[in-house]
Structure 1
Amino acid sequence: MSSILSPREPGDAAYYQLLADSYQRLLGRTLVPEPMPATKAARWLYEEAPFAVLAHNTAPDPVFVYGNLAAQQRFEYDWAAITRLPSRLSAEPPNQAERQAFLARVQRVGYETGYTGVRITRTGKRFMIEEATLWQLIDADGVLHGQAVIIPRTRDL
């Protein structure tokens, strides 16, 4: 079963909870550095996290529904633009097949860590994402809402 759930706004505490709970269940780690209320954690993840976080939905051609400020800056999109972007467009056409294979592995296993791949900004600049972790956004009832990724490091190409 899947759903197309989107945050109501960048700091949506309920959507943060989906990100954080599914990350904790699958990887056994917390998404934020210290315990804090969901509203504060949602704000921290969106505004202050030193790593990029993106999430896409379960549409046939998945669209990003979340991108924190670090992701927006790296990919050169604002909130309105990134949350309308089909996630496949974050990679150039020659890299889309490799990206799709990565997403399929995560669908089978639930998550993958240590991923490295080439991505592209809105203006066409290429960069490498390094040590990325992608996981399934599955709520407590087992409903799939999409996939999310943490990108801790990038470098220009």
Structure 2
Amino acid sequence: MISVASPLDTAFFSLLSGSHQRLCGRPLTSGLPDDAEAADWLYRDAPYAVLAQDAAEDPAFVYANTTAQRLFAYTWQQFVGLPSRLSAPVADRESRDRLMAGVRSKGYAEGYRGLRESGTGKRFWIEDVTIWNLADADGEVHGQAALIRSWSDG
């Protein structure tokens, strides 16, 4: 089971960014000299939201950068451990489950758009989303991650 000791955990960042590079063919961050600086930038300053969940039967979030925390209205402590299915309204969970099943089998999906619900109950659209398997160099899948490039009111 994957766990993230802190939002700046460089071992997790290496899995997150390495799997994104291998599956999507492009870097998650660029121009930063090492994993520690890149992990810090991704967590604190990235203009896009990044979330990750574990590979449990009922997956739970293990990572959410500050942009994701603001978007979903959860703190790090509230996000980590939260079942990821709760990020989608009840009526949209079946389509979310189908999407995630496709990602697990194909490795990644791009261009996704879906309705989500914040911790305050506000609904919004996530758009231009890339979702990928958190797979290590040996191909073992530890969960999935999502990069949300834009969002709008629902």
With structure 2 as the length reference, what TM-score do the two structures score? 0.98
Q: Residue 120 of structure 1: which of 117, 122, 143 is its match?
A: 117
Task: Provide runs of 4+ in structure 1 moved above 6 Å.
Answer: none
1:37 aligned partner = 34
Deviation per CA, 1:67-118: give whole Å up to 9, x if none: 0000000000000100021000000110000100100111111000000000
Count of residues in correspondence between the two structures: 154
Q: Residue 10 of structure 2: which of 2, 5, 13 is its match?
A: 13
Report SS of the residue matched to 2:50.
strand
Report SS of the residue matched to 1:114.
strand
| Percent identity between the two aligned chains | 47
**C-alpha RMSD of the superposition:** 0.7
Q: Which runs of 5+ in 2 are unaligned?
A: none
1:93 aligned partner = 90
Supply the distance in 2 between the matched residues of 1:33 and 1:40 (Cα, whole angstroms). Answer: 11
Supply the distance in 2 between the matched residues of 1:107 and 1:79 (Cα, whole angstroms). Answer: 25
Deviation per CA, 1:24-52: give whole Å up to 9, x if none: 00011000132420000000000000000
With structure 1 as the length reference, what TM-score do the two structures score? 0.96
Q: Which runs of 5+ in 1 are unaligned?
A: none
Alignment of 1:3-152 (within 5 A): 4-152=1-149
